[in-house]
Structure 1
Amino acid sequence: MPMDLKVGDIVELKKQHPCGNKTFLILRTGADFRIKCIACERQLWIERANLEKRIKKVTSKKD
């Protein structure tokens, strides 16, 4: 069953972005996710299955 992730949630990933940050903001959901690095604001597309494996914890949930 897929994780309950919504636009506006902040997630912490297991591996860091090349800029050194681990926290990302979810901008788009679906089969593919668009996430934005909180530190350098670079956006990237990632498949749902790949993102769910990489998530360490959901820091902030949008209600």
Structure 2
Amino acid sequence: MDVHVGDVLELKKEHPCGSRNWLVLRVGMDFRLRCQGCGHELMLPRSKAEKSIRKILRSQGSTE
């Protein structure tokens, strides 16, 4: 899956704050994500993160 730093991911499950959108801060074996609703940050293993992605909203600077 092609995910870059700065992309916003829409995940399948809601965060307790009600938001489904997460900003990608770090990509590698783990993803570091920041909730767009409340600002909470977490690290997820790549395999778990890729399963829970519903949609990738590209960052403005992306060339795709």
After TM superposition, is the score higher than 0.5?
yes
In structure 1, the residue matched to 2:41 is 43
Structure 2 unmatched runs, 5+: none
Using the alignment, how far apart are the partners of 2:28 and 2:15 within structure 1?
22
Moved over 2 A (4+): none
User: How high is the TM-score relative to the length of structure 1?
Assistant: 0.91
Query: More displaced, 52-61 or 4-13?
Result: 52-61
Pairing of 1:1-63 with structure 2 (within 5 A): 3-61=1-59, 62-63=61-62
Using the alignment, how far apart are the partners of 2:15 and 2:57 within structure 1?
17
Using the alignment, how far apart are the partners of 1:56 and 1:33 within structure 2?
15
Structure 1 unmatched runs, 5+: none
User: How high is the TM-score relative to the length of structure 2?
Assistant: 0.90
Percent identity of paired positions between Structure 1 and Structure 2: 46
1:59 Cα deviation from its structure 2 partner:
1.9
